[in-house]
Amino acid sequence: MEITAEMVKELRERTGIGVMECKEALQASKGDMEEAINYLRKKGYSRAKDKMSRETAEGVIGSYIHSNGKIGVLVEVNCETDFVARTEEFKELVKNICLHIAASAPQYISREEVPSELLEKEKDIIREQFKESKKPPEIIEKIVDGKLNKFFEEVCLLDQKYVKDDSISVKELLASFIAKSGENTRIKRFTRFVLGQS
């Protein structure tokens, strides 16, 4: 049976688990949604969402300097135990997050960090663009929401498409690592330096 993008999307929405894991589960269960969920549960992925609320006090600070020496990144990624922080998989995750930040230039980690005045300004700009369109106000508000999601994808690290695999977001990359490691993992803070910019 062919596994469609819609099937993968539905399973992702129901479980909060990454694209690749959902696709694998659907292939293993021959497209049966409930069987795919059971497959993921057996693998321990379904607990990833629960783990996202647990305390993270360990981790590492990763760094990356681009080959031309003009872009640099520092990022703090936290996990629950020093044991996981010392694994090659965790170090690889941190390195990949550094590379992503260097390439994609996010301004915030999550939507919650975006200042409300900036959000209101962005909404006003979008509404102004459709002022003359004669569309009903409720339709304009739906358009505003859609365009705001695009805005978040541009400025928020967790919402951005992962630079090494644009079929997933950075948030899904983290969720996938959480499912595999069994520990909550989060990006606490980052700084991106560009030569000559204050």
What pLDDT, on a 0 to 100 scale, did the predictor assign at position 22?
85
Lowest pLDDT segment from 25-34, 62-71, 77-86, 138-147: 138-147
Evaluate if residue 168 carries a pLDDT over 70. yes
**Spatial separation of the C-alpha atoms in residues 162 and 17, rounded to whole Å:** 15
Per-residue pLDDT of 146-167, as tens digits, reads: 888 899 999 999 999 999 998 8
The whole-number average pLDDT for the span 3-23 is: 80
The terminus-to-terminus CA distance of the chain in angstroms comes to: 54
What pLDDT, on a 0 to 100 scale, did the predictor assign at position 75?
97
**Spatial separation of the C-alpha atoms in residues 84 and 75, rounded to whole Å:** 17
Say if residues 158 and 171 touch (Cβ distance below 8 Å): yes
**Spatial separation of the C-alpha atoms in residues 20 and 185, rounded to whole Å:** 19
What pLDDT, on a 0 to 100 scale, did the predictor assign at position 100?
97
Query: With respect to CATH, is domain 115-155 assigned 1.20.1740?
Result: no
| Confidence at 93, pLDDT banded by 50, 70, 90 | very high
Per-residue pLDDT of 15-65, as tens digits, reads: 767 777 888 889 998 888 888 888 877 776 655 555 556 677 789 999 999
> Residues, the chain, total?
198
What is 51-109+156-194's CATH topology?
Tetrahydropterin Synthase; Chain A (3.30.479)
pLDDT, averaged across the chain: 87
**Class (C level, CATH) for 5-43:** mainly alpha
**Spatial separation of the C-alpha atoms in residues 64 and 95, rounded to whole Å:** 7
Q: Which residue has the higher pLDDT, 53 or 88?
A: 88
Domain boundaries, the chain: 5-43, 51-109+156-194, 115-155
Per-residue pLDDT of 177-188, as tens digits, reads: 988 888 889 999
Evaluate if residue 74 carries a pLDDT over 70. yes
What pLDDT, on a 0 to 100 scale, did the predictor assign at position 170?
95
